[in-house]
Structure 1
């Protein structure tokens, strides 16, 4: 299975406009973590998760298939970045207390990745996989956003996007003591800031590539009369599954 890279071509936008994750998500993950020596953040992108883990662990190893994204990733002295497949890494057996994957497991060969997790995890290490679904803007804007998501750019999503919509329900998770939890990341954003976030979506990039026009411009025109001039609450619903590697 060939790895899929949908983000190198707009890594600068990704680094500026993708969200990070709330503190209560990390609190939930860490409550059962057996140690704080070493963590692996897989498919780290621009290092949103690696940067947070660096405040909590002695060492963080962060991998991605996109060298461009890693160049732009947040830098801290105890983070080591390297390009690597999720399913085949350079790490030694029994290396990690925690393994994380944020908004990326649906791009993997999931069975092969979990086999690699079993190899590189310490006994009783924690594996945490999470994603976030369609952004929520409020009752007055959500119907416009849903139409854009399903109809305007819907045909341009990769098939893997269905796993986000289904909250990974169809993806295997062969670990013990499995727990599920939900969180919300909230931001106060201007409409222009929100538009630039949408330009990081892989379906929007594919639409631009195929049609040589930016679909976000039309959405801006639809949202603008309702959004107004100021900032609005933008909510990202996060779903997480956590297990223990035994």
Structure 2
């Protein structure tokens, strides 16, 4: 196993699709329930379409937009979801056609004033906008302390500045809409060590650290985590707090 540790941090574009956790279906269902209708949803910064497909289970049609050709190339197929290459500042949909706009783990990259202007253009009366993020993973006792040291102190300097907005649950983002309260939700998974290290490999901070020549730092974390995990095939509980800014357009 120690000979494999570097491989976790040499993942291709498909790693994002394999290792990123899905949101609970209850979240997509809730957003459909509060929307004025379920004719069409727009998922901006959709990545590989994980959340777009969950919306597709509750809306007649979903458009997923992303600027990354690599992400769209690995997008999950769904009969009600159509993917397009477009930015948050130039939404590729018709005026007054959208009942729900979502941005899951993406809004911190947007030019928000231009995005909000586009949201107002494409939305029907009473449509909802939801900016969704999930915070830092919480591992079981015996694993979490080492993980947090890695997250904050070791790869911490390699996170882009926008990451602070995610860690703060988007509370600092300007949000010029009438805000609606939603029940708190968590994202929970039972993952083995391989899946968790695969997830860590998808972080932008991990990739930047690797480019900066910090392979040994990454390998040391892998070794430490595997040593504490026990049987690497044993599933362990991982929890991420979900943060939602929900507003009426």
Instruction: State TM-score, norm by structure 2.
Output: 0.91
- In 1: Cα distance, 2:191 partner to 2:13 partner: 21
Q: Secondary structure at the match of 1:211?
A: coil
Counterpart of 1:132 in structure 2 is: 134
Q: Secondary structure at the match of 1:223?
A: helix
Please report how far the alpha carbon of residue 215 of structure 1 lies from its aligned counterpart in structure 2 after TM superposition: 4.0
- In 1: Cα distance, 2:216 partner to 2:39 partner: 45
Please report how far the alpha carbon of residue 90 of structure 1 lies from its aligned counterpart in structure 2 after TM superposition: 2.4
Please report how far the alpha carbon of residue 212 of structure 1 lies from its aligned counterpart in structure 2 after TM superposition: 5.9
CA contact (8 A) 1:86 1:108 kept: yes
1:103–1:73 CA distance, 2 compared to 1 (3 A): same
Please report how far the alpha carbon of residue 23 of structure 1 lies from its aligned counterpart in structure 2 after TM superposition: 2.0
RMSD over aligned CA atoms reads 1.5
- In 2: Cα distance, 1:217 partner to 1:181 partner: 39
Paired residue for 2:236, among 228, 232, 236?
A: 232
Counterpart of 1:223 in structure 2 is: 225
- In 1: Cα distance, 2:37 partner to 2:216 partner: 46
- In 2: Cα distance, 1:214 partner to 1:92 partner: 50
| Structure 2 unaligned spans of 5+ | 1-10
- 1:136-147 alignment, distance < 5 Å: 136-147=138-149
User: Could you list the per-position Cα deviations for residues 96-155 of structure 1 after superposition, in whole angstroms to 9, with x for gaps in the alignment?
Assistant: 011111001011111211111111111100111110111000232211111101111011
1:165–1:177 CA distance, 2 compared to 1 (3 A): closer
Please report how far the alpha carbon of residue 210 of structure 1 lies from its aligned counterpart in structure 2 after TM superposition: 1.4
| Structure 1 unaligned spans of 5+ | 1-8
Counterpart of 2:210 in structure 1 is: 208
User: Could you list the per-position Cα deviations for residues 10-60 of structure 1 after superposition, in whole angstroms to 9, with x for gaps in the alignment?
Assistant: 421101111110022223322211101001000000000111111111111
Q: Secondary structure at the match of 1:81?
A: strand
- In 2: Cα distance, 1:185 partner to 1:54 partner: 19
Paired residue for 1:241, among 215, 237, 245?
A: 245
CA contact (8 A) 2:28 2:58 kept: no
- In 2: Cα distance, 1:243 partner to 1:63 partner: 20
Counterpart of 1:101 in structure 2 is: 103
Counterpart of 1:110 in structure 2 is: 112
Range with greater deviation from structure 2 (25-34 or 198-207): 25-34
Instruction: State TM-score, norm by structure 1.
Output: 0.92
- In 2: Cα distance, 1:23 partner to 1:68 partner: 25
- In 2: Cα distance, 1:110 partner to 1:149 partner: 27
1:196–1:216 CA distance, 2 compared to 1 (3 A): farther
- 1:38-57 alignment, distance < 5 Å: 38-57=40-59
Please report how far the alpha carbon of residue 217 of structure 1 lies from its aligned counterpart in structure 2 after TM superposition: 2.1
- In 2: Cα distance, 1:215 partner to 1:111 partner: 39
